[in-house]
């Protein structure tokens, strides 16, 4: 099962390290990563395999949102199906 992790907010040092470190601790495997910086605005999108994560996806999403608050970013973890559904005919 794959999820999309989206991190947005004001650019800062060590964001990728903190988020990817947290995800790997949870057992998630990052398959793809891309990031853009528009001015001071940072946006990173990761495709993550969460099959080996023990907790439920909703719980992981909640913890990531919490981590986001701590580092001053907004972090979303969403099942990839939502994007496939909304953006493909």
Partner 1 sequence: MFSNNDVLETIAMVEKEHLDIRTITMGISLLGCIRDSAEETARKVYDLVCKKAENIVKTARDLSGEYGIPIVNKRVSVTPVSLLCAAFPEKAPLIGKALDDAAETLGIDFLGGYSALVHKATADYERKFIRTIPEVLATTKRLCSSVNVGSTKSGINMEAVKMMGEAFKEAALLTKDQDGIGAAKLVAFCNAVEDNPFMAGAFHGVGEADTVVNVGVSGPGVVKHALEKIPEADLTEAAEMIKRTAFKITRAGQLVAKEAARRLNAQFGIVDLSLAPTPAMGDSVAQILEELGIECVGGHGTTAALAMLNDAVKKGGVMASSRVGGLSGAFIPVSEDIGMIRAAEKGAITLDKLEAMTCVCSVGLDMIAIPGDTPATTIAAIIADEAAIGMINQKTTAVRIIPAPGKDVGDEVSFGGLLGRAPIMPVHKTDSSKLINRGGNIPAPIHSFKN
Which residues form the interface with partner 1 (CB under 8 A)? 4, 6, 8, 34, 36, 43, 45, 56-59, 61-62, 74, 76-89
Give the residue with the Cβ less far from partner 1, 20 or 77.
77
Q: How far is the CB of 26 from partner 1 (least distance, A)?
A: 15
Closest among 35, 50, 53, 43 to 74, alpha carbons compared: 43
Q: How far is the CB of 2 from partner 1 (least distance, A)?
A: 11
Q: How far is the CB of 30 from partner 1 (least distance, A)?
A: 15
Could you tell me if 80 and 61 are in contact, meaning their C-beta atoms sit under 8 angstroms apart? no
Q: What are the angstrom distances between the C-alpha of 80 and each of 58, 69, 73?
A: 13, 23, 21
């Amino acid at each position: 099962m794959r999820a999309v992790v989206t991190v947005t907010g004001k650019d800062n040092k060590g964001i990728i390290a903190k988020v990817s470190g947290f995800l790997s601790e949870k057992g998630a495997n990052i398959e793809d990563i891309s990031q853009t910086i528009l001015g001071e605005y940072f946006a990173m999108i990761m495709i993550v395999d969460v099959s080996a994560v023990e907790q439920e996806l909703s719980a992981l999403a909640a913890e990531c949102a919490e981590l986001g608050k701590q580092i001053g970013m907004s972090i979303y973890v969403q099942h990839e199906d939502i994007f496939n559904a909304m953006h493909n005919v």
